Chain A
Amino acid sequence: MTELLISRMQFGVSIGIHYLFPITTLGLTLFIVIFETLYLAKREDQCRAISTFLVKLLSLIFVAGVATGLLMPFSFGANWARFSTYAGAVLGAIISVEAITAFALESVFIAILLFGREKVSPRVYWISAVLVFVGAHLSGFWIVAANSWLQTPAGYVIAGGRVELANLSQAIFNHSTLIRFAHVVTAAWLVGALLTAGIAAFYLARARHEAFAKRLLSMALPIALVAALAQPVLGHFHIMEVLENNPEKDAAYEGIFKSVNGAPLLLFGIPDAENQVIHFAVGAPYVLSLLESGELMGHVKGLEEYPPESWPPVNVIFTTFHLMIMLGVVMIGVAALGVFLMWRKKLYTVRWYLMLLPWLIPLPYFANELGWIGAEIGRQPWIIYGVMRTSVASTITLPLWQLTLSFVGILLVYTAIAVLTFVSVKKLVQKGP
């Protein structure tokens, strides 16, 4: 059991740290494409300066993403041999599609962005920026598709004691892929928007690079608002999908132990799975029933309807889910205030707001991580929902001492990469464009 726990911790730590970089890449490439397009269309030098600066940030982020991501495809074999032997025919196929259609595209064309400004025409440079954007997002799509297949497996049959791909498009576009991809991509854009807004505000508050920063901030805040407002809408459709396909996970998210008519939407609470109760619960009465069934007194199934051995760890996922939502509300407020100030033409004079923005850069990162912790812990005890349990997925030949050593090593190396990247990005921002 300890061996399994260490393999899970290693996967969680490595993918949790890795994830910080690809979402930043998605967010930054969005802004790079926007400013390159403006530059190509209007030849505005300010746009080119902004894009050049963002490309410098991207180069630090991208390499950290590559470095921390190399372990992932191999770790399916190394730490999860029984899982990859059982499900490789589907999972390996999807990660192969990812590498060959998306990762190759972004890795090759990013060289033009980093080193090719003077070597190619503005048009080819723009095309390269678009291809890196497309490659990065396509890569995200395949990874979300692979993960969604674990949440809501489809398009497979079980034959000869293992999974066999029966229908590729059903496997890729399984019940949760599209909605989860939309949720993840807009969340990544929110990361990019609040990151660039924070950087621009940092300059404005210190009266540095003002023209540059105003142009960037006036682009970032509206995008932040749209992306932040999209989250509750997409989140709602996602949770409806979870309700349909992983009902016990949904009950745990919402903290409903007993089946009830007219369930409240809990906004806050301290979950206590052992006693099947949410302490200090604060909720909006009837709203959960209304959201899930369209009727105030609609029936909501509680966890009691499912055998306890198939419950996900309720305390963890109730908490992460609600923290994510709270952060989402804060980010909507922050972005809305910014857009309001922009509309009233007061944005650049409200100093406290400009001073605050850089400190909010971590918020979307936390929200992203919390969302994924909820999604992945919420899938437990399954590694493939309803098909394979996590407890029978790990490699059996790995001794405890090797796993411990590798976990500590990975933890140290990944933390070092995260710290180095953070410090270097901070230095680059302080130095200025």
Chain B
Amino acid sequence: MDIQFYQNGVFLLIILFFYLFSVLDGFDFGIGMMLPFAKGKEDSGRLVSHIAPFWDGNEVWLVIGAGFIVGAFPAVMGLVLGNLYLPFLLLIVGLILRAMALEYSYHDLARQRFWHLVAACGSYLVTILGLFFVGTIVQGMPFEGKGVLSTRPGDYISTFPILFSMAGLMVVIWHGMTYALNQDPVESRQKGAAKFWWVLVGSILVLLVAWILCLPQTMGRPLSMAGAGFCLAGVIGGRWSLSRKGWPFRFSCLIITGLWMLIGTSLYPLVLPAYHHPEWSLAIASAAAPLSTLKLLFVLGWVLVPIIIAYSYFMYRVFRKGN
């Protein structure tokens, strides 16, 4: 096997980690963001009980992804976070608020409403900022030379990341709604989802149009066409299956799968594209760590991911009827 095989294999693993994080922790954030709109204490308590045993294990994929980025592409994290430092810290604060608030919402029952609102704030912060980061990376960073990024905050605000963040936010809320529907298929939730579905339709259309207009070069590839197709199929399937237990959530997973296919194909073969100046882009091949580390991460990832998925699946079986 040549070095390129391992570079691509580890790149794919990192995409896989963030994909798993979006699909799994995504519904936790979606539920978190629904909390302010829950009908009374009982409803919000039920919503949290759907995710209580899972959110912590789901968040692990983010930490694994972070470790792999430092190991496999050592310069990348410094470039991105060193230049978007305050948004990054705000995102971390969001993760912290979400974690603490979920725990205390079932520990400190006297202030449950307060903790639910804190969990919601944390979930919004993480989702909006996290998607903004992904959108920024997909569109390209404002490089001013090889390995040098602009230090003007204004250069980091542009149309695509903002649209990506807003549309993605709606997808994550939809993901949470369909997950709640899966756990608790009551009529009021179905009605709510049926109304929100129109927001989802608008968001996905805006997102795909923005992708075509802002990043036309990515749309010609078969994988990205398939990704866009998955998004549309997931949206339509979600509405069609709204009254069938389990299916809206599966179709929602399909939307997120499609989005990550689009993200992956937009990036490849780059790991950090440069906006306006393609020649300064950081390619997978040039940013990757030496072969010894890549081999280690490659084996580690492809062997252990199925094992983690297996025991996580066991956990979902144990708690499949709520807790």
Contacts and interface: CB of A to CB of B under 8 A. Distances in A.
Contacts of B102: 63
A77 B82 contact: yes
Given A85-B74, A89-B71, A116-B318, A165 B57 contact: no
Interface in A50-80: 59-60, 63-64, 66-68, 70-71, 73-74, 76-80
Contacts of A275: none
Interface stretch (A41-49, A247-255, A286-294, A397-405): A397-405
Contacts, number: 212
A89 B108 contact: no
Contacts of B82: 77-79, 81, 395-398
A114 B53 CA distance: 8
Contacts of A352: none
B43 interface: no
A153 B35 CA distance: 49
A89 B75 CA distance: 10
A95 B52 contact: no
Contacts of B311: 105, 108-109
B290 A100 contact: no
Interface string B158-179: 0000000000000000000000
Contact of B304 (A81, A100, A110, A119): A100
A108 B95 CA distance: 18
B301 interface: yes
A82 interface: yes
Contacts of B71: 88-89, 91-93, 95-96
B72 interface: yes
**Majority secondary structure, A binding face:** helix
A159 interface: yes
Nearest to A395: B82
Contacts of B77: 74, 76-78, 81, 84
B198 interface: no
A267 interface: no
Given A63-B103, A100-B304, A112-B315, A406 B67 contact: no
A432 interface: no
Contacts of B151: 397, 399
A276 interface: no
A103 interface: yes
B323 interface: yes
Contact of A107 (B57, B76, B104, B297): B57
Q: Which of A59, A96, A108, A166 has the most CB of B within 10 A?
A: A96
B290 A165 contact: yes
A81 B89 contact: no
A185 interface: no
B318 A88 contact: no
Nearest to B93: A413
Contact of B315 (A74, A91, A111, A424): A111
Interface residues on A, range: 35 or more
A92 B67 contact: yes
A68 B79 CA distance: 23
A165 B288 CA distance: 13
A330 interface: no
B68 A96 contact: yes
A61 to B, nearest CB: 10
A115 interface: yes
Given A63-B99, A66-B59, A92 B149 contact: no
Nearest to B62: A70
Interface residues of B, number: 62
Contact of A108 (B60, B75, B79): B60
B92 A73 contact: no
Contacts of A86: 74
B216 interface: no
Contact of A115 (B86, B93, B323): B323
A66 B64 CA distance: 13
Given A59-B103, A402-B86, A395 B78 contact: yes
B296 A93 contact: yes
A77 B301 CA distance: 21
Contact of A413 (B53, B88, B96, B300): B96
A104 B60 contact: yes
Contacts of A101: 300, 304
A91 B68 CA distance: 10
Contact of B74 (A162, A398, A402): A162
B101 to A, nearest CB: 10
B78 A77 contact: yes
A104 B99 contact: no
Nearest to B303: A100
A6 to B, nearest CB: 12
Contacts of A73: 63, 66-67, 70
B289 A89 contact: yes
Nearest to A68: B96
Given A73-B66, A97-B300, 6 more contacts: A67-B96, A77-B82, A82-B78, A100-B305, A108-B60, A424-B107
14 contacts: A64-B100, A66-B56, A66-B99, A67-B100, A70-B62, A70-B95, A73-B67, A91-B70, A93-B289, A96-B297, A100-B305, A116-B53, A119-B318, A165-B292
List 4 tightest A-B contacts by C-beta distance, closest first.
A81-B78, A77-B77, A88-B74, A92-B71
Interface of B: 52-54, 56-57, 59-60, 62-64, 66-83, 85-86, 88-89, 92-93, 95-96, 99-100, 102-104, 107-108, 149, 151, 289-290, 292-293, 296-297, 300-301, 304-305, 308, 311-312, 315, 318-319, 323
